[in-house]
Amino acid sequence: MADDKKLVTAITDMEVDFPQWYTDVVKKAELADYSSVKGCMIIEPYGFALWENIQKQLDERFKETGVENVYMPMFIPESLLQKEKDHVEGFAPEVAWVTQGGDNKLQERLVVRPTSETLFCDHYHNVIHSYRDLPKLYNQWCSVVRWEKTTRPFLRTTEFLWQEGHTAHATAEESYEKTIQMLNIYADFCENVLAIPVIKGEKTEKERFAGAKNTYTIESLMHDGKALQSGTSHNFDDLFSKPFEIQYTDKDNQLQYVHQTSWGLSTRIIGAIIMVHGDNSGLVLPPRIAPTQVMVIPIAMQKEGVIEKAQELTERLKKVVRVKNDLTDKNPGWKFSEYEMKGVPLRLEIGPKDIEKNQCVLVRRDTGEKTFVSLDNLEESVTKLLDDIQNNLYNKALENRKNKTYTAINMDEFSKILDEHPGFIKAMWCGDQACEDKIKELTSATSRCIPFEQEEISDTCVCCGKKAKHMVIWGRAY
């Protein structure tokens, strides 16, 4: 098997150089490639199939709550963007401008959308008139552009894919409830489909989405101890509806401002899947999101009946799982390494001796464990193993987060932990942004969230020693 491993180009050991390991996996698992457009990536078929599965499953969850899909223009007039002052200031460093169309200079500059709040607000201003028009529950799947200084495939690119939900409600209570409902959908999806444990909480004012009243987040921890913001949900209340004059007539014939939400999850979540579950053999995919859950590999294909049996088993399994077979003339060792690199959860091997014994070999990607199973109850064995793999990946990620979560009482402890044991740090905070800024300046760690599940580690702020208001999760992040 050692020789077979060499048939697929080796990847950098994650313990030696984690960023290079990540890049190696992205490229060698054929998820994405670099393009001639600086900062932009080419999402290859395997990577896009992964995104399609994410999109499909999330879309179903959204629609169960009454959300409908729409599509807004790619361009935003500068005058429209300027209507919400805090919003435009928050995105100003990242926007890309269109100043010319064909041979003619544009009379008004256009922004290539970094996000679409202003477009939705403009539309809602035109279509919402009465309480009977509410709620408006819209979502769009699209790409956005943010002019990033440093980029890395999936994690941070100039153009990326995402979904952005935008809803309008009659009351503040309804908008808050929708904000939390969508956050919970993201959290449930990450934990039960992607096998990524998350911490739910509220962003501090400093880390809040530009223009929002509150921003809520799910934060996940990567294998190397860095945090990744994996999805956000924003409660705008009436902070956008007032500058855009989005009003409706209520049941008492009184004019009221609508209350809005915005929520999004992007292709950056693919980076999380790679960094939470991957190993030194490549990608490891949770079965519920894997484009191919089972790969059937015939052994000694030249022997009579082997290819036919492989095809037969493939057709049987299609009724219960996403399955493919590899009937190419590559040798089995190469195929084993290739599908390990691509993170296929389960490999099925079938050869002449297996056929004689009415059995096959199932090999788990997460543990490498081999199991001989009877062909009589193949479907049951495969589905059970896939469930076991899914649960094992979640529990392994949860254990990693537990082992890399620390507490700090003062800044000496805080700095020492970050330098020696990267991970999440639970520490108390007084609520003053000056302390938040100082912590970032001294350690490069940021507040990830004020978790909903609070703990009282001490009664004083980790930075200034004054009375604490919140327990905060801190960490260095992607």
Could you give the CA distance from residue 226 to residue 222 in angstroms, rounded to a whole number? 5
**Domain map of the chain by residue range?**
18-277, 294-389, 405-475
Give the model's pLDDT for residue 82. Answer: 87
φ/ψ of residue 395, rounded to 5: -65, -35
Could you give the CA distance from residue 348 to residue 362 in angstroms, rounded to a whole number? 5
Instruction: Write out the two tokens for 141.
Output: 């799947």
Could you give the CA distance from residue 341 to residue 63 in angstroms, rounded to a whole number? 34
Could you give the CA distance from residue 337 to residue 1 in angstroms, rounded to a whole number? 9
Q: Which residues of 51-75 are buried (b: 16+ CB within 10 A; e: fewer)?
A: bebbbeebeeebeeeebeeeebebe
Could you give the CA distance from residue 314 to residue 382 in angstroms, rounded to a whole number? 12
Could you give the CA distance from residue 220 to residue 213 in angstroms, rounded to a whole number? 23
Q: Where is 59: in which H helix or E strand?
A: helix 45-64
Could you give the CA distance from residue 191 to residue 417 in angstroms, rounded to a whole number? 27
Count of residues in the chain: 478
Give the model's pLDDT for residue 3. Answer: 46
CB of 244 within 8 A of CB of 122? yes
| Cα 446 to the center of its chain, rounded Å | 19
- Tell me, what DSSP letter sits at residue 21? H
Instruction: Give the HSE-up count for residue 368: Cα atoms under 13 Å, Cβ half-sphere.
Output: 8
Q: State how far the alpha carbon of 73 is from the alpha carbons of 52, 114, 208, 350, in Å.
A: 22, 12, 25, 52
Cis before 93 (ω within 30): no
Residues of the chain with pLDDT under 50: 1-7
Q: What is the reported pTM?
A: 0.95
Instruction: Write out the two tokens for 92.
Output: 């100003």
Instruction: Write out the two tokens for 15.
Output: 């313990």
Give the model's pLDDT for residue 9. Answer: 64
| Residues 6 or more apart whose Cβ sits within 8 Å of residue 456 | 428, 471
CB of 430 within 8 A of CB of 469? yes
φ/ψ of residue 294, rounded to 5: -135, 130
Longest dimension (CA), the chain: 81
Confirm or reject CATH 3.40.50.800 for domain 294-389, answering yes or no: yes
Q: Under CATH, domain 405-475 is a member of which superfamily?
A: C-terminal domain of ProRS (3.30.110.30)
Could you give the CA distance from residue 49 to residue 69 in angstroms, rounded to a whole number? 20
CA dihedral 192, 196, 202, 205 (to 10 degrees): -140
Q: Which residues of 267-297 are buried (b: 16+ CB within 10 A; e: fewer)?
A: bbbbbbbbbbbbbebbbbbbbbbbbbbbbbb
Instruction: Write out the two tokens for 330.
Output: 């590559």
Give the model's pLDDT for residue 89. Answer: 77
466-472: long-range contacts, CB 8 A cutoff, minimum separation 24: 466/430, 466/432, 467/430, 468/428, 468/429, 468/430, 469/429, 469/430, 469/431, 470/428, 470/429, 470/431, 471/426, 471/427, 471/428, 471/429, 472/204, 472/426, 472/427, 472/428, 472/429, 472/447, 472/448
Could you give the CA distance from residue 289 to residue 192 in angstroms, rounded to a whole number? 10
Strands 346-350 and 294-298: parallel
The fold for domain 18-277 equals BirA Bifunctional Protein; domain 2 (3.30.930)
Q: Where is 424: in which H helix or E strand?
A: strand 424-429
